Amino acid sequence: MTAFSLDPTQTAWCAELRTWAEQRLRPLAEKGEPGRVNRALVAELGQLGLLDRLFTAGALELCLMRESLAYACTEAETALALQGLGACPVHAHGTESQRARWLPGVRAGTTVAAFALSEPGAGSDAAALSLTAAPGPGPASGWRLSGEKCWISNAPEADFYTVFARTTPGAGSRGVTAFLVPADRPGLTGGALDMLSPHPIGTLAFDDVHVTGDDVLGQPDRGFRVAMGTLNLFRPSVGAFAVGMAQAALDATLAHTAGRDAFGAKLKDLQTVAHQVAEMDLRVEAARLMVYAAATAYDDGAPDVPRRSAMAKLLATETAQYVVDRAVQLHGARALRRGHLLEHLYREVRAPRIYEGASEVQRAIIAKELYATVEAP
């Protein structure tokens, strides 16, 4: 297999995922409450074995899962991705006891995980975290977490959080530690946020929350590596999420323009419409290829993964925004009705251009990686 094609087994698996999403996951998603964790949906992802695959899949397989689920049920895709964001750091950096405590429930869909990185004043600037982890009075007393987190997926309903806090003031990215914090830890509270997209997102408040060495993921003051390693894995798959939505919008547009009569002909027979659809298809395919290439580079251990991941997320999310917007325009007023597929996608597609690093941050990463290879004159 190359970065630019799928073998028959992968193609068949993607088709099976779409079927599951349409027949088994979407009915559960439709019964859920917008902005709340849909535990029945998460449990069904566990029953299908998809949550277990989060810990065995490479980046490309993760992309195929997210793209296929997003095509037919964006809520299922998001539930899968949020479980991965919160739990993959535990799988990659946790101790045996940490993994044994939390990962079986994540795999089964009975335990909800969350990734707590963003803050009110440090959304995309992960090195500027201000949530403090103050050391206790003795070497074995651990730390006390004080501060806030914001825009946290699955908050405040998750069962545990992968939390990033500052353990060394003034050290930038070198002074951040990752902690595994159970939701019932005294002093930890939170609230839900009402967002444009129907995702479960909220805030967390840490009021002198006690954590110990047993709660550390990885090494003290090395949590930035945990965060960036997780984001480098998931950024191409955010692009895959976007590609799945864009493909759904494109397919809906093809069906609509092929059957809709206007001005004495089918919409597809109008050159201005046909050219727009062709442009949509061109951009979707280009984004898909870049996502697959970035995921394959990650799986191969290529040295330029940060740049490729940033490029894939940037191109795919911007492409999806364009394609969904064009699809709405070509459908006309019917696409604006509540409950229409494109009305749903129009609300869903805006968020990926911001979370896990806004488009502007991705451009900054790309430029930084490019100039790192240039020798000053």
The catalytic residues are 356
- The residue assigned the tokens 């539930």 is 79
Closest by Cα among 239, 250, 259 to 345:
250
- How far is 25 from 366, CA to CA, in rounded Å? 36
> Nearest-CA neighbor of 22 among 61, 71, 64?
71
Taking the mean position of all CA atoms in its chain, how far away is CA 59? 13
Which residues are CB-neighbours of 170 under 8 A, at least 6 positions away? Answer: none
The Cα–Cα gap between 288 and 286 comes to 5
Distance from C-alpha of 63 to C-alpha of 13, rounded to nearest angstrom: 12
Nearest Cα neighbor of 352 from 211, 192, 237, 230 is 237
Question: Which residues does 369 contact at the CB level (< 8 Å), separation at least 6?
Answer: 304, 306, 307, 310
**Closest by CA position to 87, among listed 73, 104, 106:** 106
Distance spanning both ends of the chain, measured CA to CA: 41
Beta strand 160-166 pairing with 113-116: parallel
